[in-house]
Structure 1
Amino acid sequence: MTDHTPADAVRGATDSEWFERLARAGHVVSGLLHLLIAYIVARLAFGDPGNADQSGALGLFASTPGGRTALWIAVVAFVAMALWRVAEVILGPHPADPAPDDDDGWLDRAKAGALAVVYLAFAWSAAQFALGHGQSSGRQNAGLSARLMGSAPGKVLLVVVGLVIIAVGAYHVYKGVTRSFFDDLKIDENDAVKVTGIVGYTAKGLVLAGAGLLVIVAVATVDPSKATGIDGAVKTVAGWPAGQVLLVVAALGLAAYGIYCLVMARYARM
Protein backbone atom coordinates (compact mmCIF):
# COMPACT_ATOMS: atom_id res chain seq x y z
CA MET A 1 0.00 0.00 0.00
CA THR A 2 1.43 3.36 -1.08
CA ASP A 3 1.59 6.15 1.50
CA HIS A 4 0.39 9.51 0.24
CA THR A 5 1.88 12.65 1.78
CA PRO A 6 0.10 16.02 2.04
CA ALA A 7 2.37 17.25 -0.75
CA ASP A 8 1.05 14.45 -2.98
CA ALA A 9 -2.49 15.61 -2.31
CA VAL A 10 -1.57 19.20 -3.15
CA ARG A 11 0.16 18.10 -6.35
CA GLY A 12 -2.93 16.13 -7.32
CA ALA A 13 -5.02 19.26 -6.81
CA THR A 14 -2.76 21.35 -9.04
CA ASP A 15 -3.16 18.70 -11.75
CA SER A 16 -6.88 19.51 -11.81
CA GLU A 17 -7.85 21.45 -14.93
CA TRP A 18 -10.76 23.10 -13.11
CA PHE A 19 -8.59 24.29 -10.24
CA GLU A 20 -6.14 25.82 -12.70
CA ARG A 21 -8.95 27.54 -14.62
CA LEU A 22 -10.39 29.04 -11.44
CA ALA A 23 -6.94 30.26 -10.40
CA ARG A 24 -6.39 31.80 -13.84
CA ALA A 25 -9.70 33.62 -13.41
CA GLY A 26 -7.99 35.44 -10.54
CA HIS A 27 -5.70 37.07 -13.12
CA VAL A 28 -8.75 38.15 -15.13
CA VAL A 29 -10.40 39.78 -12.11
CA SER A 30 -7.12 41.42 -11.08
CA GLY A 31 -6.74 42.79 -14.61
CA LEU A 32 -10.25 44.23 -14.61
CA LEU A 33 -9.69 45.83 -11.19
CA HIS A 34 -6.48 47.50 -12.39
CA LEU A 35 -8.24 48.78 -15.51
CA LEU A 36 -10.95 50.27 -13.28
CA ILE A 37 -8.33 51.84 -10.99
CA ALA A 38 -6.67 53.32 -14.09
CA TYR A 39 -10.05 54.75 -15.13
CA ILE A 40 -10.52 56.31 -11.66
CA VAL A 41 -7.01 57.81 -11.76
CA ALA A 42 -7.72 59.29 -15.21
CA ARG A 43 -10.94 60.84 -13.85
CA LEU A 44 -9.04 62.28 -10.89
CA ALA A 45 -6.65 63.92 -13.33
CA PHE A 46 -9.58 65.98 -14.63
CA GLY A 47 -11.07 66.80 -11.25
CA ASP A 48 -13.64 64.05 -10.78
CA PRO A 49 -13.89 62.44 -7.32
CA GLY A 50 -13.13 58.80 -6.55
CA ASN A 51 -11.00 56.36 -4.58
CA ALA A 52 -8.05 55.33 -6.73
CA ASP A 53 -7.54 51.93 -5.17
CA GLN A 54 -9.01 48.46 -4.91
CA SER A 55 -12.00 49.66 -2.85
CA GLY A 56 -12.86 52.27 -5.47
CA ALA A 57 -12.73 49.66 -8.23
CA LEU A 58 -14.84 47.20 -6.23
CA GLY A 59 -17.33 49.98 -5.51
CA LEU A 60 -17.69 50.58 -9.25
CA PHE A 61 -18.27 46.86 -9.74
CA ALA A 62 -20.96 46.83 -7.06
CA SER A 63 -22.79 49.83 -8.53
CA THR A 64 -23.31 48.28 -11.97
CA PRO A 65 -26.23 45.99 -12.96
CA GLY A 66 -25.24 42.46 -12.01
CA GLY A 67 -22.22 43.88 -10.21
CA ARG A 68 -22.76 41.98 -6.97
CA THR A 69 -23.00 38.69 -8.84
CA ALA A 70 -19.74 39.57 -10.57
CA LEU A 71 -18.19 40.29 -7.18
CA TRP A 72 -19.11 36.83 -5.88
CA ILE A 73 -17.44 35.36 -8.97
CA ALA A 74 -14.42 37.49 -8.11
CA VAL A 75 -14.43 36.09 -4.57
CA VAL A 76 -14.27 32.52 -5.89
CA ALA A 77 -11.50 33.43 -8.35
CA PHE A 78 -9.42 35.19 -5.70
CA VAL A 79 -9.79 32.32 -3.23
CA ALA A 80 -8.74 29.86 -5.95
CA MET A 81 -5.68 31.98 -6.76
CA ALA A 82 -4.82 32.21 -3.05
CA LEU A 83 -5.02 28.42 -2.73
CA TRP A 84 -2.83 28.04 -5.82
CA ARG A 85 -0.22 30.28 -4.18
CA VAL A 86 -0.42 28.10 -1.06
CA ALA A 87 0.29 25.13 -3.31
CA GLU A 88 3.38 26.97 -4.58
CA VAL A 89 4.53 27.44 -0.99
CA ILE A 90 4.34 23.68 -0.54
CA LEU A 91 5.55 22.49 -3.95
CA GLY A 92 7.60 25.37 -5.30
CA PRO A 93 6.92 27.75 -8.22
CA HIS A 94 4.74 26.77 -11.18
CA PRO A 95 3.76 23.30 -9.91
CA ALA A 96 1.66 22.49 -12.99
CA ASP A 97 4.24 23.77 -15.49
CA PRO A 98 7.73 23.58 -13.93
CA ALA A 99 10.93 24.46 -15.75
CA PRO A 100 14.48 23.27 -15.07
CA ASP A 101 15.67 26.81 -14.23
CA ASP A 102 12.90 27.54 -11.70
CA ASP A 103 14.30 28.70 -8.38
CA ASP A 104 12.84 26.43 -5.70
CA GLY A 105 14.37 28.38 -2.82
CA TRP A 106 12.75 29.98 0.21
CA LEU A 107 12.40 33.37 -1.51
CA ASP A 108 10.00 32.10 -4.18
CA ARG A 109 7.99 30.24 -1.57
CA ALA A 110 7.89 33.35 0.63
CA LYS A 111 6.63 35.43 -2.31
CA ALA A 112 3.95 32.83 -3.00
CA GLY A 113 2.88 32.95 0.65
CA ALA A 114 2.68 36.74 0.59
CA LEU A 115 0.60 36.63 -2.59
CA ALA A 116 -1.74 34.10 -0.98
CA VAL A 117 -2.41 36.60 1.81
CA VAL A 118 -2.94 39.40 -0.73
CA TYR A 119 -5.45 37.39 -2.75
CA LEU A 120 -7.33 36.34 0.40
CA ALA A 121 -7.53 40.02 1.35
CA PHE A 122 -8.89 40.78 -2.13
CA ALA A 123 -11.48 38.02 -1.71
CA TRP A 124 -12.53 39.41 1.69
CA SER A 125 -12.88 42.95 0.28
CA ALA A 126 -14.87 41.73 -2.72
CA ALA A 127 -17.18 39.76 -0.40
CA GLN A 128 -17.73 42.85 1.74
CA PHE A 129 -18.76 44.91 -1.28
CA ALA A 130 -20.96 42.07 -2.56
CA LEU A 131 -22.75 42.10 0.82
CA GLY A 132 -23.11 45.88 0.73
CA HIS A 133 -20.64 46.48 3.58
CA GLY A 134 -17.68 47.75 1.53
CA GLN A 135 -15.61 50.63 2.91
CA SER A 136 -12.88 52.87 1.55
CA SER A 137 -9.47 51.22 1.93
CA GLY A 138 -7.86 54.62 2.42
CA ARG A 139 -10.16 55.46 5.33
CA GLN A 140 -9.50 52.09 6.96
CA ASN A 141 -5.74 52.47 6.50
CA ALA A 142 -5.79 55.96 8.01
CA GLY A 143 -7.84 54.74 10.99
CA LEU A 144 -5.49 51.83 11.65
CA SER A 145 -2.46 54.12 11.29
CA ALA A 146 -3.95 56.58 13.80
CA ARG A 147 -4.31 53.80 16.37
CA LEU A 148 -0.78 52.50 15.80
CA MET A 149 0.69 56.00 16.12
CA GLY A 150 -0.50 56.06 19.70
CA SER A 151 2.51 54.01 20.81
CA ALA A 152 6.22 53.77 20.02
CA PRO A 153 6.02 50.09 18.93
CA GLY A 154 3.10 51.01 16.68
CA LYS A 155 5.14 53.74 15.00
CA VAL A 156 8.04 51.32 14.47
CA LEU A 157 5.63 48.80 12.94
CA LEU A 158 4.28 51.46 10.56
CA VAL A 159 7.79 52.39 9.44
CA VAL A 160 8.57 48.72 8.81
CA VAL A 161 5.33 48.37 6.83
CA GLY A 162 6.24 51.45 4.79
CA LEU A 163 9.71 50.06 4.03
CA VAL A 164 8.22 46.69 3.00
CA ILE A 165 5.78 48.41 0.63
CA ILE A 166 8.65 50.44 -0.86
CA ALA A 167 10.64 47.21 -1.31
CA VAL A 168 7.68 45.54 -3.05
CA GLY A 169 7.36 48.57 -5.32
CA ALA A 170 11.07 48.48 -6.12
CA TYR A 171 10.78 44.77 -6.96
CA HIS A 172 7.93 45.55 -9.38
CA VAL A 173 10.08 48.19 -11.09
CA TYR A 174 13.03 45.76 -11.26
CA LYS A 175 10.82 43.03 -12.71
CA GLY A 176 9.56 45.44 -15.34
CA VAL A 177 12.83 46.98 -16.50
CA THR A 178 14.68 43.63 -16.54
CA ARG A 179 11.77 41.92 -18.38
CA SER A 180 11.99 39.04 -15.91
CA PHE A 181 8.20 38.80 -16.00
CA PHE A 182 8.69 36.65 -19.10
CA ASP A 183 9.89 33.90 -16.71
CA ASP A 184 6.27 33.62 -15.55
CA LEU A 185 4.88 33.15 -19.07
CA LYS A 186 4.61 30.29 -21.52
CA ILE A 187 5.54 32.55 -24.42
CA ASP A 188 8.94 33.95 -25.37
CA GLU A 189 9.69 37.54 -26.28
CA ASN A 190 6.61 39.28 -27.68
CA ASP A 191 6.60 43.01 -28.46
CA ALA A 192 3.06 43.73 -27.25
CA VAL A 193 3.49 41.74 -24.05
CA LYS A 194 6.93 43.30 -23.53
CA VAL A 195 5.50 46.83 -23.63
CA THR A 196 2.58 46.09 -21.31
CA GLY A 197 4.85 44.22 -18.90
CA ILE A 198 7.58 46.87 -18.73
CA VAL A 199 5.19 49.82 -18.52
CA GLY A 200 2.73 48.04 -16.24
CA TYR A 201 5.20 46.68 -13.71
CA THR A 202 7.15 49.95 -13.60
CA ALA A 203 4.03 52.07 -13.12
CA LYS A 204 2.59 49.84 -10.40
CA GLY A 205 5.97 49.68 -8.67
CA LEU A 206 6.30 53.46 -8.58
CA VAL A 207 2.76 53.86 -7.22
CA LEU A 208 3.42 51.25 -4.51
CA ALA A 209 6.72 52.87 -3.58
CA GLY A 210 4.95 56.21 -3.30
CA ALA A 211 2.32 54.68 -1.02
CA GLY A 212 5.03 53.17 1.20
CA LEU A 213 6.90 56.47 1.38
CA LEU A 214 3.72 58.24 2.48
CA VAL A 215 3.34 55.77 5.36
CA ILE A 216 6.79 56.80 6.62
CA VAL A 217 5.97 60.49 6.10
CA ALA A 218 2.73 59.98 8.04
CA VAL A 219 4.71 58.62 11.00
CA ALA A 220 7.30 61.41 10.81
CA THR A 221 4.62 64.13 10.72
CA VAL A 222 2.18 62.29 13.04
CA ASP A 223 -0.46 62.68 10.33
CA PRO A 224 -2.33 59.37 9.76
CA SER A 225 -4.37 60.93 6.93
CA LYS A 226 -1.28 60.56 4.72
CA ALA A 227 -1.14 56.77 5.24
CA THR A 228 -4.02 55.95 2.93
CA GLY A 229 -2.31 53.60 0.50
CA ILE A 230 -2.36 53.90 -3.27
CA ASP A 231 -5.26 56.36 -3.18
CA GLY A 232 -3.21 58.70 -0.98
CA ALA A 233 -0.16 58.41 -3.25
CA VAL A 234 -2.22 59.24 -6.33
CA LYS A 235 -3.96 62.20 -4.71
CA THR A 236 -0.63 63.53 -3.43
CA VAL A 237 0.67 63.55 -7.00
CA ALA A 238 -2.50 65.36 -8.07
CA GLY A 239 -1.42 68.35 -5.97
CA TRP A 240 1.93 68.72 -7.73
CA PRO A 241 2.48 71.39 -10.45
CA ALA A 242 2.52 68.73 -13.19
CA GLY A 243 0.04 66.56 -11.32
CA GLN A 244 -2.52 66.25 -14.09
CA VAL A 245 0.03 65.03 -16.62
CA LEU A 246 1.56 62.62 -14.09
CA LEU A 247 -1.87 61.19 -13.22
CA VAL A 248 -2.63 60.57 -16.89
CA VAL A 249 0.74 58.80 -17.23
CA ALA A 250 0.00 56.77 -14.08
CA ALA A 251 -3.43 55.84 -15.45
CA LEU A 252 -1.89 54.59 -18.68
CA GLY A 253 0.71 52.61 -16.73
CA LEU A 254 -1.87 50.98 -14.46
CA ALA A 255 -4.00 50.19 -17.50
CA ALA A 256 -0.97 48.51 -19.06
CA TYR A 257 -0.59 46.41 -15.92
CA GLY A 258 -4.27 45.47 -16.12
CA ILE A 259 -3.79 44.33 -19.71
CA TYR A 260 -0.72 42.34 -18.65
CA CYS A 261 -2.83 40.57 -15.99
CA LEU A 262 -5.23 39.54 -18.76
CA VAL A 263 -2.24 38.17 -20.69
CA MET A 264 -1.29 36.23 -17.55
CA ALA A 265 -4.74 34.67 -17.48
CA ARG A 266 -3.99 33.03 -20.82
CA TYR A 267 -0.23 32.52 -20.85
CA ALA A 268 0.94 32.34 -17.22
CA ARG A 269 2.93 29.30 -16.21
CA MET A 270 0.89 27.83 -13.35
Structure 2
Amino acid sequence: MNASDAAEQVQQSDWLDHAIRVGLVAYGVVHLLIAFLAVQLALGEKEDSASNTGALHYLAEQPLGAAMVWGVAVGMLLLVVWRLLEFAFGYREESDDTKRWRKRATSLGKAVIYGALGWSAVRTALGDGSSGGTDSTTAKLMDLPGGQLIVGAVGLAVIAYGGSLVWRGWTEKFTEHLDAQGQSGTDGSAYVLLGKIGYIAKGIAIGIVGGLFAYAAITHDPKKSGGLDQALQTVLEQPFGQVLLIAIGLGIGAYGIFCFARAKHLSR
Protein backbone atom coordinates (compact mmCIF):
# COMPACT_ATOMS: atom_id res chain seq x y z
CA MET A 1 0.00 0.00 0.00
CA ASN A 2 1.46 3.38 -1.02
CA ALA A 3 1.18 6.63 0.93
CA SER A 4 -1.72 7.89 -1.18
CA ASP A 5 -3.77 4.74 -0.57
CA ALA A 6 -2.98 4.87 3.15
CA ALA A 7 -4.15 8.48 3.35
CA GLU A 8 -7.32 7.60 1.47
CA GLN A 9 -7.98 4.81 3.95
CA VAL A 10 -7.49 7.20 6.86
CA GLN A 11 -9.83 9.73 5.23
CA GLN A 12 -12.60 7.13 5.01
CA SER A 13 -12.04 5.68 8.49
CA ASP A 14 -14.59 5.68 11.31
CA TRP A 15 -12.10 7.20 13.75
CA LEU A 16 -11.83 10.30 11.57
CA ASP A 17 -15.62 10.65 11.76
CA HIS A 18 -15.38 10.60 15.55
CA ALA A 19 -12.55 13.15 15.45
CA ILE A 20 -14.58 15.46 13.21
CA ARG A 21 -17.54 15.22 15.59
CA VAL A 22 -15.35 16.30 18.51
CA GLY A 23 -14.07 19.23 16.46
CA LEU A 24 -17.55 20.31 15.40
CA VAL A 25 -18.76 20.30 19.00
CA ALA A 26 -15.81 22.53 19.97
CA TYR A 27 -16.55 24.81 17.02
CA GLY A 28 -20.19 25.01 18.08
CA VAL A 29 -19.22 25.97 21.64
CA VAL A 30 -17.08 28.85 20.36
CA HIS A 31 -19.96 30.17 18.25
CA LEU A 32 -22.39 29.97 21.17
CA LEU A 33 -19.96 32.00 23.28
CA ILE A 34 -19.57 34.59 20.51
CA ALA A 35 -23.37 34.81 20.33
CA PHE A 36 -23.57 35.35 24.09
CA LEU A 37 -20.94 38.09 23.98
CA ALA A 38 -22.65 39.74 21.00
CA VAL A 39 -25.93 39.93 22.91
CA GLN A 40 -24.03 41.32 25.91
CA LEU A 41 -22.58 43.98 23.63
CA ALA A 42 -26.03 44.87 22.34
CA LEU A 43 -27.41 45.18 25.88
CA GLY A 44 -24.47 47.30 27.06
CA GLU A 45 -23.09 44.57 29.33
CA LYS A 46 -19.95 43.82 27.31
CA GLU A 47 -17.03 42.35 29.25
CA ASP A 48 -15.16 40.51 26.52
CA SER A 49 -14.90 41.13 22.79
CA ALA A 50 -17.52 39.36 20.69
CA SER A 51 -14.92 37.49 18.65
CA ASN A 52 -13.11 34.16 18.60
CA THR A 53 -10.42 35.49 20.94
CA GLY A 54 -12.97 37.09 23.25
CA ALA A 55 -14.95 33.85 23.40
CA LEU A 56 -11.82 31.88 24.30
CA HIS A 57 -10.88 34.35 27.02
CA TYR A 58 -14.39 34.15 28.44
CA LEU A 59 -14.22 30.34 28.38
CA ALA A 60 -10.81 30.39 30.11
CA GLU A 61 -12.28 32.36 33.01
CA GLN A 62 -14.88 29.70 33.80
CA PRO A 63 -14.36 26.76 36.20
CA LEU A 64 -12.08 24.24 34.47
CA GLY A 65 -11.68 26.92 31.80
CA ALA A 66 -8.08 26.06 30.88
CA ALA A 67 -9.04 22.44 30.25
CA MET A 68 -11.99 23.53 28.11
CA VAL A 69 -9.83 25.89 26.06
CA TRP A 70 -7.32 23.07 25.48
CA GLY A 71 -10.30 20.97 24.39
CA VAL A 72 -11.18 23.62 21.80
CA ALA A 73 -7.55 23.64 20.62
CA VAL A 74 -7.57 19.86 20.18
CA GLY A 75 -10.94 20.00 18.44
CA MET A 76 -9.65 22.58 15.97
CA LEU A 77 -6.53 20.47 15.32
CA LEU A 78 -8.75 17.51 14.46
CA LEU A 79 -10.71 19.67 12.01
CA VAL A 80 -7.44 20.89 10.46
CA VAL A 81 -6.34 17.28 9.90
CA TRP A 82 -9.67 16.50 8.26
CA ARG A 83 -9.54 19.47 5.90
CA LEU A 84 -5.90 18.89 4.98
CA LEU A 85 -6.71 15.28 4.09
CA GLU A 86 -9.54 16.57 1.91
CA PHE A 87 -7.18 19.06 0.28
CA ALA A 88 -4.53 16.44 -0.46
CA PHE A 89 -6.62 13.41 -1.34
CA GLY A 90 -10.30 14.36 -1.42
CA TYR A 91 -12.92 14.75 -4.14
CA ARG A 92 -11.38 12.13 -6.41
CA GLU A 93 -14.87 11.24 -7.58
CA GLU A 94 -15.12 14.63 -9.32
CA SER A 95 -14.52 14.17 -13.05
CA ASP A 96 -14.09 17.92 -13.58
CA ASP A 97 -10.53 18.89 -12.59
CA THR A 98 -11.46 22.54 -12.09
CA LYS A 99 -14.32 21.69 -9.75
CA ARG A 100 -12.21 19.18 -7.86
CA TRP A 101 -9.39 21.67 -7.23
CA ARG A 102 -11.86 24.40 -6.31
CA LYS A 103 -13.27 22.14 -3.61
CA ARG A 104 -9.77 21.23 -2.46
CA ALA A 105 -8.86 24.92 -2.25
CA THR A 106 -11.97 25.51 -0.15
CA SER A 107 -10.89 22.72 2.19
CA LEU A 108 -7.44 24.31 2.50
CA GLY A 109 -9.01 27.66 3.33
CA LYS A 110 -11.13 26.07 6.06
CA ALA A 111 -8.03 24.34 7.44
CA VAL A 112 -6.41 27.77 7.75
CA ILE A 113 -9.46 29.15 9.58
CA TYR A 114 -9.59 26.20 11.98
CA GLY A 115 -5.82 26.42 12.46
CA ALA A 116 -5.99 30.12 13.34
CA LEU A 117 -8.73 29.46 15.89
CA GLY A 118 -6.77 26.52 17.30
CA TRP A 119 -3.63 28.65 17.63
CA SER A 120 -5.65 31.34 19.42
CA ALA A 121 -6.92 28.66 21.80
CA VAL A 122 -3.38 27.45 22.53
CA ARG A 123 -2.18 31.01 23.20
CA THR A 124 -5.17 31.66 25.45
CA ALA A 125 -4.58 28.44 27.39
CA LEU A 126 -0.94 29.46 27.87
CA GLY A 127 -1.98 32.91 29.08
CA ASP A 128 -0.73 34.70 25.97
CA GLY A 129 -3.93 35.29 24.04
CA SER A 130 -3.49 39.00 23.49
CA SER A 131 -2.45 40.37 20.11
CA GLY A 132 -1.59 43.59 18.41
CA GLY A 133 -5.06 43.80 16.93
CA THR A 134 -6.39 43.63 13.40
CA ASP A 135 -5.47 47.23 12.67
CA SER A 136 -1.78 46.57 13.44
CA THR A 137 -1.80 43.58 11.09
CA THR A 138 -3.46 45.70 8.43
CA ALA A 139 -0.86 48.43 8.97
CA LYS A 140 1.92 45.92 8.33
CA LEU A 141 0.22 44.82 5.12
CA MET A 142 -0.23 48.45 4.08
CA ASP A 143 3.52 48.99 4.42
CA LEU A 144 4.29 46.27 1.87
CA PRO A 145 4.71 47.10 -1.83
CA GLY A 146 1.17 47.17 -3.19
CA GLY A 147 -0.08 46.86 0.39
CA GLN A 148 -3.24 48.85 -0.26
CA LEU A 149 -4.18 46.45 -3.04
CA ILE A 150 -3.37 43.47 -0.80
CA VAL A 151 -5.65 44.75 1.97
CA GLY A 152 -8.37 45.48 -0.59
CA ALA A 153 -8.02 41.97 -2.01
CA VAL A 154 -8.27 40.49 1.49
CA GLY A 155 -11.42 42.51 2.06
CA LEU A 156 -13.01 41.34 -1.19
CA ALA A 157 -12.07 37.72 -0.44
CA VAL A 158 -13.65 37.94 3.02
CA ILE A 159 -16.77 39.55 1.54
CA ALA A 160 -16.95 36.73 -1.01
CA TYR A 161 -16.63 34.12 1.75
CA GLY A 162 -19.37 35.80 3.76
CA GLY A 163 -21.54 35.92 0.65
CA SER A 164 -20.97 32.22 0.04
CA LEU A 165 -22.17 31.46 3.56
CA VAL A 166 -25.32 33.53 3.00
CA TRP A 167 -25.91 31.70 -0.28
CA ARG A 168 -25.41 28.30 1.34
CA GLY A 169 -27.87 29.28 4.03
CA TRP A 170 -30.50 30.70 1.72
CA THR A 171 -30.38 27.74 -0.70
CA GLU A 172 -30.05 25.21 2.16
CA LYS A 173 -27.05 23.71 0.42
CA PHE A 174 -25.53 23.06 3.84
CA THR A 175 -27.95 20.16 4.29
CA GLU A 176 -25.52 18.03 2.29
CA HIS A 177 -23.53 17.86 5.53
CA LEU A 178 -26.40 16.08 7.31
CA ASP A 179 -27.28 12.42 6.86
CA ALA A 180 -30.79 11.40 5.83
CA GLN A 181 -31.99 11.12 9.42
CA GLY A 182 -30.72 14.62 10.17
CA GLN A 183 -32.84 16.03 7.32
CA SER A 184 -36.09 14.24 8.05
CA GLY A 185 -38.92 14.59 10.54
CA THR A 186 -39.51 17.32 13.09
CA ASP A 187 -35.91 17.25 14.30
CA GLY A 188 -34.63 17.48 10.74
CA SER A 189 -36.80 20.53 10.04
CA ALA A 190 -35.42 22.21 13.17
CA TYR A 191 -31.83 21.42 12.16
CA VAL A 192 -32.38 22.87 8.71
CA LEU A 193 -33.99 26.02 10.15
CA LEU A 194 -31.10 26.50 12.59
CA GLY A 195 -28.59 25.98 9.81
CA LYS A 196 -30.35 28.42 7.50
CA ILE A 197 -30.50 31.16 10.13
CA GLY A 198 -26.97 30.42 11.30
CA TYR A 199 -25.28 30.43 7.91
CA ILE A 200 -27.02 33.65 6.85
CA ALA A 201 -26.23 35.47 10.13
CA LYS A 202 -22.60 34.34 10.15
CA GLY A 203 -22.23 35.27 6.50
CA ILE A 204 -23.55 38.78 7.15
CA ALA A 205 -21.15 39.27 10.08
CA ILE A 206 -18.15 38.04 8.08
CA GLY A 207 -19.20 40.16 5.12
CA ILE A 208 -19.09 43.24 7.36
CA VAL A 209 -15.56 42.28 8.43
CA GLY A 210 -14.58 42.15 4.77
CA GLY A 211 -16.24 45.51 4.21
CA LEU A 212 -14.11 47.04 6.96
CA PHE A 213 -10.94 45.75 5.27
CA ALA A 214 -12.07 47.09 1.91
CA TYR A 215 -12.88 50.48 3.45
CA ALA A 216 -9.46 50.56 5.12
CA ALA A 217 -7.85 49.94 1.72
CA ILE A 218 -9.86 52.72 0.07
CA THR A 219 -9.11 55.25 2.81
CA HIS A 220 -5.56 53.96 3.36
CA ASP A 221 -6.33 53.96 7.09
CA PRO A 222 -5.51 50.66 8.89
CA LYS A 223 -7.62 51.73 11.88
CA LYS A 224 -10.72 51.44 9.69
CA SER A 225 -10.20 47.66 9.44
CA GLY A 226 -11.30 45.29 12.16
CA GLY A 227 -12.26 41.80 13.14
CA LEU A 228 -15.61 40.37 14.13
CA ASP A 229 -15.76 42.45 17.30
CA GLN A 230 -15.43 45.72 15.40
CA ALA A 231 -17.88 44.52 12.75
CA LEU A 232 -20.52 43.86 15.40
CA GLN A 233 -19.76 47.23 17.01
CA THR A 234 -20.37 48.80 13.59
CA VAL A 235 -23.76 47.08 13.45
CA LEU A 236 -24.60 48.43 16.91
CA GLU A 237 -23.91 52.00 15.76
CA GLN A 238 -26.51 51.81 12.98
CA PRO A 239 -30.19 52.77 13.28
CA PHE A 240 -31.95 49.97 15.19
CA GLY A 241 -28.43 48.63 15.79
CA GLN A 242 -29.30 47.01 19.11
CA VAL A 243 -32.08 44.95 17.53
CA LEU A 244 -29.92 44.08 14.52
CA LEU A 245 -26.99 43.00 16.71
CA ILE A 246 -29.19 40.81 18.91
CA ALA A 247 -30.60 39.20 15.75
CA ILE A 248 -27.09 38.54 14.38
CA GLY A 249 -25.95 37.24 17.77
CA LEU A 250 -28.87 34.83 17.97
CA GLY A 251 -28.16 33.79 14.39
CA ILE A 252 -24.53 33.01 15.23
CA GLY A 253 -25.84 31.03 18.19
CA ALA A 254 -28.10 29.11 15.80
CA TYR A 255 -25.00 28.27 13.76
CA GLY A 256 -23.34 26.95 16.91
CA ILE A 257 -26.31 24.68 17.65
CA PHE A 258 -26.29 23.52 14.03
CA CYS A 259 -22.66 22.46 14.54
CA PHE A 260 -23.92 20.11 17.26
CA ALA A 261 -26.59 18.75 14.92
CA ARG A 262 -23.99 18.26 12.22
CA ALA A 263 -21.75 16.41 14.67
CA LYS A 264 -24.63 14.09 15.51
CA HIS A 265 -25.74 13.54 11.90
CA LEU A 266 -22.40 13.87 10.12
CA SER A 267 -22.36 13.23 6.40
CA ARG A 268 -19.08 13.68 4.56
On whether the aligned pair clears a TM of 0.5, the verdict is yes
Report matched runs for 1:21-100 at 5 Å: 21-49=18-46, 50-93=48-91
Q: Does 1:200 align with 2:198?
A: yes
- TM-score, normalization: structure 2? 0.91
Q: Is the contact made by 2:86 and 2:104 (CA closer than 8 Å) also made in structure 1?
A: yes
Q: Does 1:157 align with 2:150?
A: yes
Uncovered stretches (5+) of structure 2, i.e. residues with no partner: none
Q: For the residues of structure 2 that align with 1:153 and 1:99, how far apart are their CA atoms? A: 37
Tell me which amino acid in the other structure corresponds to 1:174: W
Q: Does 1:251 align with 2:249?
A: yes
Task: Please name the residue that 1:183 is paired with.
Answer: 176
Tell me which amino acid in the other structure corresponds to 1:36: L
Query: Which of 240, 247, 250 pairs up with 1:242?
Result: 240
Q: For the residues of structure 1 that align with 2:156 and 2:99, how far apart are their CA atoms? A: 26
Q: Secondary structure at the match of 2:85?
A: helix
Q: For the residues of structure 1 that align with 2:103 and 2:148, how far apart are their CA atoms? A: 29
Q: 1:107: how far off?
A: 1.4
Q: Is the contact made by 1:23 and 1:78 (CA closer than 8 Å) also made in structure 2?
A: no
Q: 1:63: how far off?
A: 0.8
**Aligned residue-pair number:** 260
Task: Please name the residue that 1:119 is paired with.
Answer: 114
- TM-score, normalization: structure 1? 0.90
Q: Secondary structure at the match of 1:234?
A: helix
Tell me which amino acid in the other structure corresponds to 1:125: S
Task: Please name the residue that 1:146 is paired with.
Answer: 139
Output one character per residue of 1:57-110: Cα deviation in whole Å (capped at 9) or x when no partner: 0001111111111111222211111111111113325x9xx999xx96111111
Query: Which of 13, 16, 19 pairs up with 2:16?
Result: 19
Report matched runs for 1:210-229 at 5 Å: 210-229=208-227
Tell me which amino acid in the other structure corresponds to 1:146: A
Aligned CA RMSD, in angstroms, stands at 2.0
Q: Is the contact made by 2:22 and 2:75 (CA closer than 8 Å) also made in structure 1?
A: yes
Q: 1:116: how far off?
A: 1.1
More divergent stretch after superposition (63-72 vs 204-213): 63-72
Tell me which amino acid in the other structure corresponds to 1:168: Y
Q: 1:152: how far off?
A: 4.9
